[in-house]
Chain A
Amino acid sequence: MRHEQDNRPLVTRLSGVWPQVLCAALGFGAGLVNGLLGAAGGILLVTVLPWLPAPSFFCTAGEGVYRPLSRYLDRKDIFATALAVMLPVSAVSFLRYWLGGIRPDPAELAMLLLPAALGGLAGAWLLERISPRMLRLLFAGLVAVSGVRMLF
């Protein structure tokens, strides 16, 4: 029997439970990073989620057809999805930090309340109106350089 070579991208060849397993692993990984480092679970989701094969409960392509999630959700949708996941996860992480004795000063928390909420709203509003590509590049460079400084 002759087997023909399958030239489709790997992500579209995964079948059975694999899309669900990968999605579950990504969820667990994002939660783990968020709990351990208090940050970065969202960026992990935003980076990896578009590449994952769409799970069967989400896929509308039909039985046996697997497509990456980026075919169903655009960049802004993926970002909003990551926020929706990381919000309750961050609440759980913070609760655990609190129970573990890491308790921020209430006065300091109060100081963050208004600027964080207003800034978040302003950023979401701006996202619909500008293309923040240059800002993202600057941010990426700044974060990478800061990381190198923290290692040494």
Chain B
Amino acid sequence: MRLPWFITVLATFFVAVLSGLGVGSAGLFVLYLTGICGLAQTEAQGLNLVFFLLSAGASLLFHARRRRIPGSLVLFLLLFAIPGALAGTRLLQTLDAATVRRLFGGMLILTGGSALWRELRAARRARQGKEGHGLNL
């Protein structure tokens, strides 16, 4: 086993809390696995998928009781997201490790940038006395 167990347990818990909070875990766990534990990029991505299944599964159990999860919209998105995932994993097999790493870096910049933009926009709206995404039902 290559992962230091104590720090991995702590890091996993911390990133899972962020994920459950909606802060996002995209890439953070992969960064830990590649940067600190020295795992290969694709190996870290595989482990991150399992991490997501566990943490998001637990969060979803909680949300499903409290939130409205529109079944028709979820099913419609899934209908196209699953072929997308199959195409993505197929594409991964054709790319070298350095390219995947760069794509991952680009994704982090976009993710971080869009999250910053969303938060700053929400903060500006809150100052103006509006809700971020107001409910209208």
Residues of A within 8 A of B (CB): 20, 23-43, 45-47, 50, 55, 57-58, 69-81, 83-94, 96-98, 100, 102-105, 107-109, 111-128, 132-133, 135-137, 139-151
Contact = CB atoms under 8 A, between A and B. Distances in A.
A27 B86 contact: no
Contact of B73 (A34, A42, A58, A98): A58
A95 to B, nearest CB: 9
B83 A31 contact: yes
Interface in B1-40: 1-3, 5, 8-10, 12-31
Contacts of A28: 80-81, 83-84, 87
A42 to B, nearest CB: 7
Contacts of A128: 66
Contacts of B116: 137, 140-141, 144
Nearest to B122: A133
B54 A117 contact: yes
A122 B20 contact: yes
B68 to A, nearest CB: 5
Given A40-B107, A84-B60, A121 B24 contact: no
B119 A147 contact: no
Contact of B47 (A112, A127, A139): A112
B58 A118 contact: yes
Given A28-B84, A72-B136, A107-B1, A112 B50 contact: yes
A81 B71 CA distance: 9
A105 B124 CA distance: 46
B129 interface: no
A80 B69 contact: yes
Contact of A37 (B23, B77, B107): B107
A37 B104 contact: yes
Contacts of A123: 16-23, 55, 59
Given A43-B114, A80-B64, A89-B85, 15 more contacts: A20-B76, A31-B86, A37-B107, A38-B49, A39-B107, A78-B133, A85-B78, A93-B49, A115-B9, A116-B55, A117-B54, A119-B55, A133-B123, A142-B112, A147-B105
